[in-house]
A and B are shown apart, each in its own frame.
Chain A
């Protein structure tokens, strides 16, 4: 599903953020990407989203080489990747329903499809009752669930979550993890970058650890690791 082959990333200011990354994430996997700040997690996600270009190496998504693509194709790559951020990134002047529907409108879905799909996704994240609320009327956990609903409403094969529990208390974080696991169980590949040791340790999923831009550990059913 996602394959990095000898990928390096050097920023224009000379900082080497990723060094010779090789990894393959298969369809349906749930993968934690761990490491301290500055280890390269964000850069790795930015490369996948085509927010930053790759200096060396090859990157494949769904079997397609996306190492270098023209700017006008980037939106179509992003449609294959649902993204959830630490800060939710919801539109404050739109209701929960509209925030989710918005993602479908952008890719040109028909109103009929939108009316059918949005309530279903809101049901999945258990927010049907809050459909007409505005983001500032919701708790952090609820807001993050809206953002998850938005990220999966177009059925992307991959969900990328960048510190999705970073702003939430442990209990709420667990709720979010349940939702992510459920999405994973439905067949979506999930790649989650995180700092949360307890979550990683309790889930026993594949863990890829980054340190100073290199992969230092990649194990099935791993823990966060004691060294960090």
Chain B
């Protein structure tokens, strides 16, 4: 019967682990993106005139908060891309023409100022597109919130279920010791004295379940990390968070929640028996 408790706690924690890794990875992406935050990329049309280019530069300079304006030609852009892709760069060798546009990289002090900048530049002639990270970050944050809320709901339900399972398991032990508890009450044992051993039992179930799920989540994620990190970066231009950096967080969270579920379960299962 203890097996059921340990398994249900491990299952809850493993799902919690998946949600945690997702949330942490998204936070990582958000922070990563925030570092690129001070940049606004202005992509130019190939047939832009010198006059139009000067207008773009002048407009940008006139806006407060702009630190620098750097011109990046399409050749430079391709070169940077090759560097970024590293080993996979050979894929770019086969290109017949360079598909990348010329661009301005405009650094700003603060993203709030960038909004103003973007609005005045994107309507200028010769500007194809303005890439602006605020949208992306906003979208990421919304996405992260959905995952967080969804994850919390799933976890809350599962925590509830496993408290129920563990309280039923312990109820079996309790009812087999009903007589003893009854006698203890008559001799003047306090409720906390009677609860003690049962809470320890519940907490041990919880901790045991937590240790199992820490191992599974850590090794499963390490495997995923080792095999997927590079291709992930190429696809989405961000790195997965490293397993080592989340191990201690996950361990603390899992052990706490596991122990909590165990303790709650045993307190619930004892409630009925303590009323003598």
Residues of A within 8 A of B (CB): 49, 51, 71-72, 75-79, 83, 89, 91, 102-103, 106-107, 150, 154
Tell me if B188 and A78 are in contact (CB < 8 A): yes
In the complex, identify which listed stretch (B18-26, B78-86, B177-185, B258-266) lies at the interface while the others stay far away.
B177-185
A51, B184: Cα distance in complex, Å: 14
Output the least CB separation between B109 and chain A (Å).
61
> How many inter-chain contacts with C-beta < 8 Å in the A-B complex?
41
Binding site secondary structure of chain A:
helix
Residues of A within 8 A of B188 (CB): 75-79, 106-107, 154
Tell me if B187 and A91 are in contact (CB < 8 A): no
Within 8 A of A (CB), among B167-225: 179-180, 182-191, 193
20 more contacts with CB within 8 A, not counting A75-B185, A77-B188, A83-B186, are A51-B276, A71-B191, A72-B190, A78-B187, A79-B187, A79-B188, A89-B182, A89-B183, A89-B186, A91-B179, A91-B180, A91-B183, A102-B187, A103-B187, A106-B187, A106-B188, A107-B187, A150-B187, A154-B187, A154-B188
Residues of B within 8 A of A71 (CB): 191
Q: List 14 A-B contacts (CB under 8 A).
A: A72-B190, A72-B191, A75-B185, A75-B188, A75-B189, A75-B190, A75-B191, A77-B188, A78-B186, A78-B187, A83-B186, A89-B182, A89-B186, A106-B193
User: Across the two chains, which residue of chain A brings its CB closest to B180?
Assistant: A91
Output the least CB separation between A173 and chain B (Å).
22
A83, B276: Cα distance in complex, Å: 14
Residues of B within 8 A of A75 (CB): 185, 188-191
Residues of B within 8 A of A49 (CB): 186
Output the least CB separation between B185 and chain A (Å).
8
